[in-house]
């Protein structure tokens, strides 16, 4: 089993004819994801790579293909509209890869998506992969393998690094989820931890956080209160200076809040194994 | 993006917020003539993207035009937190009866714009929050409805018991909210919001931070960027589409992805080195970005070794390899380089590097250890 | 018994020091309504007529008096804000008397009030009265008497006319509700009919509609489907010309829709007795 | 409040909607010079608050400036649905490839602004709705979020299969929505929205109705009112804060409250008479309103009897009685009057009336019967 996506995922790709959208649509199809439709306004009626039907609007795509998930690769200024379009069309699972979405846009997208009852992953996230079943987003399939570990992360390439080291150590994954590095996103650590706790195949969970905000601290409390499965964690940004945005819009230490030390303490205090280096995740998992 | 006080004041003024007049000077003579125009005592304020201007001597009263010239001369010679002062704002000194604080930020916990107001203005709001939290009222705004009048009145009454002043403050808060939203702000602040002895509510200072992601659709706001008041290497990086933050260490880092970049810096520290920077070349790599990254890093004399850590996903590692080769042909390196590459097109990349006499590794820990050893002359662990 | 208000109603008056607010606050107090507070920004701390405490904001009034209903007498340009303030402060029953509220304001007030879980009556309505218990609004108390008839109406003085004739004929009322003549209002016929159906003391219901919209038609279908109690109705505007707004913002025949004839037919077709003249309501009630 | 086509076009243009140029003329000579300025064929369009202008001869093509003058002269002499034409809009004739309809209204059922668009434009949209409902797409806008781009694109694709045209239409719809909201509209309409042979999407007509309740806070919109194009008695009534609608009957009605006013008219009809008007003196009465009401009603020569029906609640019946006395002293009545009064201060009112030789009744049905009998000379039931 897995969380959020599996063999029954029927995926729509919004922005399927764009540079990133077309590249990753092919990657996902190659990995085995059922890509059942794409959206590019003005290209409705055409087929992507001669196979995948393209629609002008998400509403048409939903009506004609029965998608149950969508992934968004549109430029940042159009991403909010794309997320809202997907939610309004009734798609229950929306993944937004786009980086650079204005935060004020997200203050509107967030309540909208919730009102429509959809789950949003991202924006500014690498998506997720349930190895051997389905991949939605941009996580390289080759570094993953099926197995009993769930992984949730705010980062992209750092996730690949950790997954890569886990796979090398023969620790496969149920699902690897990148929740994204923006200050306002649709799915947080707790959402994923709860899903992993409920997934019978997942035996242990890896959590990769970074500086900024208090999500990791709240997740740590959640772990202590609600989780029976072992959790190990890593926090990036121990050497980050306060007040500077470390690439991700959300990775910023405000005043004395959101430091790596604070988060690592919260992990320790709530029974989460703390990795000092990414590679230590493997060792910690072995000992749980 | 930070903008200057005088720029934020123009935005606030356009939204209707009452703000005393003021003009910007870049020379002492200009400051003198502005002071003469206004007459009476003026305040000369450094326009610089750094907090604590006052303590650093960047805000001074001047009773005469001559004094304004002298004060401006001193302030324009200052460097505050590493940033040179290039402009001063000259504005008539106001008589102040009370000082309050009002600000709005995007708050990640509530996922909304949140107002913070306090009758204890004029000082650091974080200090007020820490010592006398009951003097701060926080109010999150439902983005679907905006700041309603009744909400603004609740904030206004928290600052002033007089209904006229509460109404004036409420109106200012609605104007501040609309300026904040229409400029794509991540912070908008008035500190102090003062009352004059006659009871009029006026904004004496203005601060605004813009969400960088808003700039593409707001060219008029993007045009406010003042590159002369930023660190040159960060300007260079931004123009090359790199995210770069200068630090004080000796290991220059070039990484793809913000999380991996931070983890790399942490690992440098872990192995006894000190990162010289944060540098994220981003997702879609191209050789030009790598060339720019090397140019920026090698211009820092404290960098003693360079570390590449690339996990290819969208980033093609062969692009990175080509960039390294091109850049080092243009400007031969004077410090050692350690290259770690894995992922997309890894084999091609390794071949390119070998053909150009670079060695490369695939393990992150090993690469970091080696870079630290080279930077410290083997003195670190 | 009664609907919406009774002896336990603890009322706030928004705009209590205004011309209309002060006049009607006194009328309500005289009738026996428990007026426990008033709101006028800037007069917080004072007392109305030496008795009723005045507050600067609704939030303060709620915190300090435990009101459970509010009535709004503020000028039209401030009415939307007053309704939202009341709903946000958690007051579950809000009556807005103000006439002339912009309809676009109401498009925002309506979802806001619903999200907050409050019931709004009005705007542009005379309020309601549960004779002998409580009156909220401006319906003259003297023309009512306690009894078994529920009355719901889109009109003001026409309601008084009908109630007056009922009272003269010794037919008392459980509650008389004026839902108001605006195109968008908080409570409609069906809400009141359902409440009357559920109220054990109400034995029959009078419904007074007018031209414009389809509320009466939908209410008629509701009566047939869901009501066991007899309902009689009257529709004003049989002689109204199409396309002209007959005073009330909602009283306008658009194209061929919303005519009195259409509404009277809907009444007939769904078992509602149709009064040709206001006075006929009395006779129809007698025969049910 | 209705505004003219040329005024709606100015509002739409300011919102960014592409609209061909046009100027207003009040004389044939002006129309000629405007036509000369534009050159080529022009359209001359009556500016009047009535539908069906075209069928009434109020819209004509003119190939030359001379013809424009002649056509304008004919149109400026027209009276359409009782309203004299005082202005014409002169605009260059456009080449039209397709005609669509797009409009937004406040919809009471969904309690929202609702767009209606149809590729079958240029004709009465209610006819399209009745005969070919599949040619209309309705879309309600969530007021909390506004019209999102994806929604506007859905509407745009319903009109045009070409993506450029769909995008242009979508943009126009967002602009129309924002003009609608910021003007306080209850209707905003473009019919036809055309494509030119070159494929450009342009608004050829514009209609807008403003919610009267918005005017107090929008003085710039209120200033658009053109009283010269309204019925003079309705203008008089509005200025006296009365709601008045002229009808064709013989019984003049003065009532407090819209519902009771309609019920009174219905009862006049029921007893065989014909109401001459709808007139609501509103809630807060004062004698001046009654004076104005009598002035307006008695200026209609077809009124043969006057009926007052007042149920005092907020309205004080003694105010009404005083108004009747004052008004009839100023202008003695030439037709009989029937007065029904009950409610607040009823006894005082009856006393005032008796002292001034008026009789009054308290029963509505009796009063209406009597008024009808007086108006018809006893011919009705």
Contact D150 A82 (CB under 8 A): yes
Q: How far apart are CA D281 and CA B309, in angstroms?
A: 82
Query: Chain C residue with minimal CA distance to B161?
Result: C42
**B162-218: per-residue pLDDT in tens?**
999 999 999 999 999 999 999 999 999 999 999 999 999 999 999 999 999 999 999
Catalytic residue flag (residue B160): no
Residue of B nearest to C43 (CA): B163
CB burial class (10 A; 0-12, 13-18, 19+) of residue B140? middle
Give every CB contact of residue C39 below 8 A, 6+ residues apart in sequence. Answer: C12, C13, C14, C15, C16, C54, C55, C56, C57, C58, C61
Residues 6+ apart with CB under 8 A from C92: C68, C69, C117, C118, C119
Angle at A283 between CA A281 and CA A284, to 5 degrees: 65
Share of chain C above pLDDT 70, in %: 100
Interface touch C56/B163, C-beta < 8 Å:
yes
* pLDDT-based confidence at residue B285 (cuts at 50, 70, 90): low
* Average pLDDT of the residues of chain D: 93
Rounded Cα gap, residues A97 and A123, in angstroms? 5
Both tokens of A134, joined, read: 């389905």
Q: Looking at the partner chain, which of C102, C248, C249 has a beta carbon nearest the beta carbon of D184?
A: C102
Nearest CA in chain D to C142: D343
The least confident of B60-74, C234-248, D199-213 is: C234-248
D145: closest CA of chain B, how far (Å): 6
Touching check for D144 and chain B: CB below 8 Å? yes
Give the pLDDT mean for A247-259: 82
Which among A248, A260, A270, A281 is annotated as catalytic? A248
Which residues, 6+ apart, have CB-to-CB distance to B161 below 8 Å?
A: none
Q: In the prediction, which pLDDT does C287 show?
A: 87
SS3 B32: helix
Q: Do A59 and D154 touch (CB under 8 A)?
A: yes
CB-nearest to B260 from A77, A157, A212 is A157
CA distance C260 to C208: 11
* pLDDT value, residue B268: 97
Residue A222 pLDDT class (50, 70, 90 cuts): very high
Partner residue opposite B111 with nearest CB, options A110, A208, A260: A110
DSSP conformation letters of D180-238: HHHHTEEEEEEEEEEE-TT--EEE---EEEE-GGGGGG-HHHHTT--GGGS-HHHHHHH
Running DSSP on this structure, what letter comes out for residue A3?
Answer: S
Dump strand ranges (E) for chain D.
Answer: 23-25, 42-47, 59-62, 79-80, 83-84, 87-92, 98-107, 112-118, 137-141, 185-195, 201-203, 207-210, 243-246, 251-255, 277-280, 305-312, 337-343
Percentage of residues in chain B having pLDDT higher than 90: 79
Neighbours of chain B (3+ CB pairs under 8 A): A, C, D
In chain B, the residue whose alpha carbon lies closest to the alpha carbon of A212 is: B108
> By the 8 A CB rule, do B324 and B354 touch?
no
Q: How far is A14 from A91, CA to CA, in rounded Å?
A: 12
Interchain CB contact of D184 with C (< 8 Å): yes
**Per-residue model confidence (pLDDT) at position B381:** 46
Taking one residue from A and the other from B, the number of pairs with CB-CB distance under 8 angstroms is 159
C-chain residues within 8 Å CB-CB of B170?
none
Q: Do A102 and B213 count as a contact with CB atoms less than 8 A apart?
A: yes
DSSP-derived 3-state class of residue D61: strand
Taking CA–CA distances from A142, the nearest residue in chain B reads B343
Nearest CB to C81 within list B150, B163, B164: B150
Q: Quick check: B145 and D145 CB within 8 A?
A: no
DSSP secondary-structure letter at B114? E
Binned at pLDDT 50, 70 and 90, residue B379 comes out as: low
Does residue A107 sit in helix, strand or coil? helix
Mutation site for A-interface testing, chosen from D150, D156, D158, D164 by largest number of A Cβ within 10 Å = D150
Helix (H) or strand (E) holding B310: strand B305-312
Question: Does D148 touch chain A if contact means CB atoms closer than 8 Å?
Answer: yes
Cα–Cα distance list, D246 to B261, D237, D300 (Å): 78, 10, 9
Q: Which chains touch D (3 or more CB pairs under 8 A)?
A: A, B, C
Contact C41 B153 (CB under 8 A): yes
Core vs surface per residue A192-216: b (16+ CB within 10 A) or e: bbebbbebebbbbbbbbbbbbbebb
Q: Is B301 exposed, middle or buried (0-12, 13-18, 19+ CB in 10 A)?
A: exposed
Taken in order of first residue, the domains within chain A and their CATH numbers are: 10-121 (3.40.50.720), 139-286 (3.40.50.261)
C66-116 pLDDT, tens digit per residue, is 999 999 999 999 999 999 999 999 999 999 999 999 999 999 999 999 999
Instruction: Determine the residue among A12, A17, A40, A41 to mutate to test chain D binding: the one whose Cβ has the most chain D Cβ atoms within 10 Å.
Output: A41
Q: Is the peptide bond before A123 cis (omega within 30 degrees of 0)?
A: yes
Mean pLDDT of the region D297-305: 93
Q: Which H or E element spans position A96?
A: strand A93-96
CA–CA separation, A173 and A206 (whole Å): 10
How far is the CA of D77 from the CAs of B11, B229, D26, in angstroms? 52, 69, 11
Q: What is the pLDDT of residue D381?
A: 46
Mean pLDDT for the stretch of residues B71-97: 94
D149 interaction partners in chain B (CB closer than 8 Å) = none
Chain D CB within 8 Å of residue B217 CB:
no
- Is the per-residue pLDDT at A245 higher than 90? no
Nearest residue on chain D to B146, judged by CA atoms?
D144
Q: Which residues pair with D339 in a beta bridge?
A: D308
Neighboring chain C residues of B150 at a CB cutoff of 8 Å:
57-58, 81-82, 84-85, 88
Could you tell me if D217 lies within 8 Å of chain B, comparing CB atoms? no
CB contact under 8 A, D262 and C153: no
Q: How big is the CA angle at B367 (ends B364 and B369), to the nearest 5 degrees?
A: 110
More confident residue, B313 or A259: A259
pLDDT-derived band of residue B293, with 50, 70 and 90 as boundaries?
A: very high
Query: Which of A156, A159, A178 is closest to A167 using CA atoms?
Result: A159
What is the residue-wise DSSP string for C118-186?
-EEE-SS--EEEETTTEEEES--GGG--EEEEEEEES-SHHHHHHHHHHHHTT--EEEEEE--SSSS-S
CB < 8 Å from A in window 230-259 of B: 243, 245, 247, 255-259
Mean pLDDT of D218-231: 92
Q: Which among A56, A59, A84 has CB closest to D148?
A: A84
Q: B150 CA to chain C: closest CA distance, Å?
A: 6
In chain D the domains, ranked by start, together with CATH numbers, are 21-92 (3.30.1490.20), 98-222 (3.30.470.20), 231-375 (3.40.50.261)
pTM of the model: 0.94
pLDDT in tens, D111-147: 999 999 999 988 777 788 888 999 999 999 999 999 9
Question: How long is chain D?
Answer: 381
Closest-approach residue (CA) in chain C for D368: C277
> What is the maximum span of chain A, computed from C-alpha positions, in angstroms?
56
Q: What percent of chain A has pLDDT over 90?
A: 91
Q: What are the pLDDT digits (tens) for B9-34? A: 999 999 999 999 999 999 999 999 99
The alpha-helical segments, DSSP class H, found in chain B are: 5-14, 28-38, 65-76, 125-131, 149-159, 163-183, 219-222, 232-239, 258-270, 287-298, 317-330, 346-355, 364-375
Residues 6+ apart with CB under 8 A from C224: C270, C271
Q: What is the pLDDT of residue B373?
A: 96
Cβ–Cβ of B145/D144 closer than 8 Å? yes
Task: Search chain C and give the residue with CA nearest D271.
Answer: C277
- Chain C positions touching D217 (Cβ under 8 A) are 77, 102
User: Is the pLDDT confidence value at B161 over 80?
Assistant: yes
Q: What is the pLDDT of residue A154?
A: 95
Q: Which residues of D touch A58 (CB under 8 A)?
A: 150
Structure confidence by residue, pLDDT tens digits, A99-152: 999 999 999 999 999 999 999 999 999 999 999 999 999 999 999 999 999 999
Residue with tokens 């077809």: D302
Contact yes or no for A197/A226 (Cβ under 8 A) = yes
Mutate which of B144, B145, B182 to test chain D, going by most D C-beta atoms within 10 A? B144
- Tokens 């109400």 belong to residue: C202
Of chain A, the end-to-end C-alpha distance in Å amounts to 21
């Amino acid at each position: 089993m897995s969380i959020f996506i599996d063999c029954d995922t029927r995926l729509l790709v919004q922005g399927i004819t764009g540079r990133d959208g077309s590249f990753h649509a092919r990657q996902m199809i190659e990995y085995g994801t059922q890509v059942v439709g794409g959206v590019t306004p003005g290209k409705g009626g055409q087929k992507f790579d001669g196979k995948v039907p393209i629609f002008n609007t998400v509403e048409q795509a939903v009506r004609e293909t029965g998608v149950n998930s969508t992934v968004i690769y549109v430029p940042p200024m159009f991403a909010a509209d794309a997320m809202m379009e997907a939610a309004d069309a009734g798609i229950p699972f929306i993944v937004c890869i786009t980086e650079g979405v204005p935060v004020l846009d997200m203050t509107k997208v967030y309540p909208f998506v919730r009102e429509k009852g959809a789950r949003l992953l991202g924006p500014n996230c690498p998506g997720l992969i349930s190895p051997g079943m389905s991949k939605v987003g941009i996580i390289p399939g080759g570094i993953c393998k099926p197995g009993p570990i769930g992984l949730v992360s705010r980062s992209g390439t750092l996730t690949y690094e950790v997954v890569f080291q886990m796979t090398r150590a023969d620790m496969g994954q149920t699902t690897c989820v990148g929740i994204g590095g923006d200050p306002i996103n649709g799915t947080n650590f707790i959402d994923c931890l709860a899903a992993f706790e409920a997934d019978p195949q997942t035996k242990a969970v890896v959590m990769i956080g970074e500086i900024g905000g208090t999500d990791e601290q709240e997740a740590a409390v959640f772990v202590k209160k609600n989780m029976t499965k072992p959790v190990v964690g890593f926090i990036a940004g121990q050497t980050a200076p306060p007040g500077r945005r470390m690439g991700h819009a959300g990775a910023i230490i405000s005043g004395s809040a959101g430091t790596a030390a604070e988060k690592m303490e919260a992990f320790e205090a709530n029974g989460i194994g703390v990795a000092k280096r990414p590679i230590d995740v493997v060792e910690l998992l072995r000992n749980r | 993006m930070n903008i200057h006080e005088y720029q934020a004041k123009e935005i606030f003024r356009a939204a209707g917020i009452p703000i005393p007049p003021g003009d910007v000077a870049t020379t002492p003579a200009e400051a003198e003539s502005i002071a003469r125009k206004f007459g009476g005592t003026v305040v000369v304020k450094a326009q610089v993207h750094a907090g604590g201007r006052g303590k650093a001597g960047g805000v001074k009263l001047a009773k005469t035009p001559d004094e304004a010239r002298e004060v401006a001369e001193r302030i324009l010679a200052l460097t505050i937190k590493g940033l040179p002062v290039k402009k001063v704002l000259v504005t008539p000194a106001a008589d102040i009866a009370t000082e309050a604080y009002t600000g709005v930020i995007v708050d990640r916990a509530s996922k909304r714009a949140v107002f913070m107001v306090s009758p204890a203005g004029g000082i650091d709001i974080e200090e007020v929050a820490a010592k006398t939290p009951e003097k701060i009222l926080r109010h999150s705004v439902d983005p679907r409805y905006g700041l309603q009048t009744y909400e603004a009145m609740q904030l206004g009454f928290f600052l002033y018991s007089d209904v006229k002043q509460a109404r004036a403050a409420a109106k200012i808060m609605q104007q501040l909210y609309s300026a904040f939203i229409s400029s794509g702000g991540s912070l908008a602040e008035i500190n102090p919001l003062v009352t004059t002895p006659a009871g009029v509510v006026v904004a004496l200072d203005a601060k605004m931070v813009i969400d960088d992601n808003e700039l593409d659709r707001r060219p008029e706001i993007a045009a406010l960027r003042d590159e002369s008041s930023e660190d040159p290497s960060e300007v260079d990086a931004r123009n090359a589409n790199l995210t770069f933050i200068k630090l004080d260490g000796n290991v220059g880092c070039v990484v793809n992805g913000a999380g991996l970049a931070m983890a790399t810096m942490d690992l440098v520290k872990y192995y006894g080195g000190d990162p010289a920077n944060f540098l994220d070349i981003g997702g879609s790599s191209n050789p030009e970005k790598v060339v720019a990254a090397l140019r920026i890093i090698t211009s820092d004399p404290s960098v003693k070794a360079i570390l590449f850590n690339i996990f290819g996903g969208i980033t093609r590692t062969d692009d990175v390899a080509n960039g390294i080769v091109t850049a080092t042909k243009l400007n031969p390196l004077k410090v050692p380089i350690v290259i770690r590459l894995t992922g997309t097109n890894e084999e091609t990349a390794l071949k390119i590097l070998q053909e150009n006499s670079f060695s490369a590794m695939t393990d992150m820990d090993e690469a970091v250890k080696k870079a630290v050893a080279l930077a410290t002359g083997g003195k670190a662990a």
